[in-house]
Amino acid sequence: MAKTVVMPQMGYDMDAGTLLRWLKQEGERVARGEPIAEIETDKVNLEIESFEEGVVRKHLVAEGQTVPVGEPIAIVGEPDEPIDLPAAAGAPRAAPAAAQASAPAAPGPADGVASAPQPEPVSQVAERAPGERVRASPLVRRLAAEHGIDLRTITGTGPGGRIVKEDILPLIGRPAELAAPAAPAPVAAPAAVAAAPAAPTAEAALPGMPPSEVRDLSRMRKTIARRMTESFQAPHFYVTTTVDMGAALAFREQVNEQLEPEQKVSINDLIVKATALALRKFPMLNASFAGEQVRIYQRIDIAIAVAVEGGLISPFIPDTDHKTLGEIARISKDLIERARSGGLRPEEYQGGTFTISNLGMYDVESFIAVINPPQAGILAVGSIRKEPVYREGTFVPVDLMRITISADHRVTDGAEAARFLAEVRRYLETPMLLAVS
């Protein structure tokens, strides 16, 4: 029987993907699990695997075309069986770039950075009247909640358009997990994450404002915008403390003398380890607000915010507190490198139970960060600067670093956050603890 391959949802906030390149042409045979196409999601490019085995009978989507999650992109079947094309997809639609070109032009780009024709992702696939209830089986609702999938983006193929198991499995990509009643994945998405409506495109100059050039947001920018807006549903509060980094700097120097260049430990690695260890004592900061409940994670996965061209991304180090400093150094180097080259896999950045954002290299004294939802806290790390400190009747130069936690007031309070910061400081000011804990 011929089967359709659909645009998969590679995680929580993906609502559409761009088909970059077909890896299997029409008429080519594809095995189950073999890459069939390369797609671009909000954050990375990745290869998608076929869930079906057979011959690629038909591409339903042209290279360069953006389609919503769940939309059929190809038909795989036996070489000679008759196939029906899904009603919605006839011939591959032309990539919308051409259409875009004739759109009313914004004032010409001054600096040569033309606004790239960015296909607008369609945020809703299913043709439902506004406010119409999504019909989905209880199983599908549970899976959608566990994997953070917005059911409104899925076309149901069951009786009466009900979304059934087969409609959601390809978006999850791990059918094996379904069988056993598994514990909820630690990466919990908020129960109802509504995709934020797309911002209206400014067309004319705003009254009182100078003439402007209107650029489309990149996909990453749109994702960041939506996620950060979402974050402000969490009432934030902020606590700052100052850490004497003298011992940590000396410790790092001493350790690195003995290590090969690729193993060398950075100050950030020390902060990651100190934070992970401190979180052990403060479970409410390694948690997520979930309506009438709080979800306390049984593992500490520290995410690191990495600045990349045009945005940022936060891959995480699984089970951070149980990793040695050397392991943390090696893993985070690798994650950061691949984040910058666009080579992260979704499962490496979708998740994390607490985030560290370090602007130390930009010579900032301190800053406050926005929580990375659904996490409960984020630590903003400033630069280490030599400052005069009054000690025993005289000023001495001390390497000071300011760290600021932003925390979700629904799950924790100022006093707890302050005690947490003191614990982070204790580890950093007694860095031998980082080597033995």
- Residues of this chain that interact with another protein (CB under 8 A) are 1-4, 72, 75, 77, 83-87, 137-142, 155-162, 164-166, 179-181
Q: Using a CB cutoff of 8 Å and minimum separation of 24, what contacts does 20-23 make? A: 20/45, 20/63, 20/64, 21/63, 22/59, 22/63, 23/47
Q: Which is nearer to another protein, 167 or 269 (CB)?
A: 167
Q: How far is the CB of 251 from another protein (least distance, A)?
A: 50
Q: How far is the CB of 131 from another protein (least distance, A)?
A: 21
DSSP three-state, residue 247? helix
Which residue among the candidates 59, 147, 322, 409 is catalytic per the annotation? 409
Question: d(Cα 295, Cα 281) in Å, to the nearest integer?
Answer: 16
DSSP three-state, residue 393? coil
114, two tokens: 């033309």
- The H or E element that residue 238 is part of is strand 236-244
C-alpha closest to that of 95 among 25, 20, 11, 154: 20
Question: d(Cα 350, Cα 304) in Å, to the nearest integer?
Answer: 12
Distance in Å from the first CA to the final CA of the chain: 56
Q: Which is nearer to another protein, 85 or 247 (CB)?
A: 85
CB 67 within 8 Å of CB 16 = yes
Quick one: angle between helices 414-429 and 246-257, nearest 10?
40
Q: Which is nearer to another protein, 175 or 235 (CB)?
A: 175
| Whole-Å CA distances, 418 to 163, 241, 364, 422 | 47, 8, 22, 6
Q: Which is nearer to another protein, 1 or 204 (CB)?
A: 1
Q: How far is the CB of 174 from another protein (least distance, A)?
A: 16
Token pair 């980094």: residue: 245
Whether 409 is catalytic: yes
Q: Which is nearer to another protein, 54 or 311 (CB)?
A: 54
Q: Which is nearer to another protein, 124 or 157 (CB)?
A: 157
For residue 97, the number of C-alpha atoms closer than 13 Å in the C-beta half-sphere is 9
Q: How far is the CB of 140 from another protein (least distance, A)?
A: 7
- Give the rounded distance of the alpha carbon of 358 from its chain centre: 17
| Whole-Å CA distances, 379 to 38, 113, 142, 199, 364 | 35, 35, 32, 29, 14
Quick one: angle between helices 267-281 and 246-257, nearest 10?
120
Q: Which is nearer to another protein, 88 or 97 (CB)?
A: 88
7, two tokens: 């645009």
Q: How far is the CB of 5 from another protein (least distance, A)?
A: 10
DSSP code of 184?
A: P
Q: How far is the CB of 76 from another protein (least distance, A)?
A: 9
Q: How far is the CB of 145 from another protein (least distance, A)?
A: 9
CB 432 within 8 Å of CB 251 = yes
Catalytic residues: 409
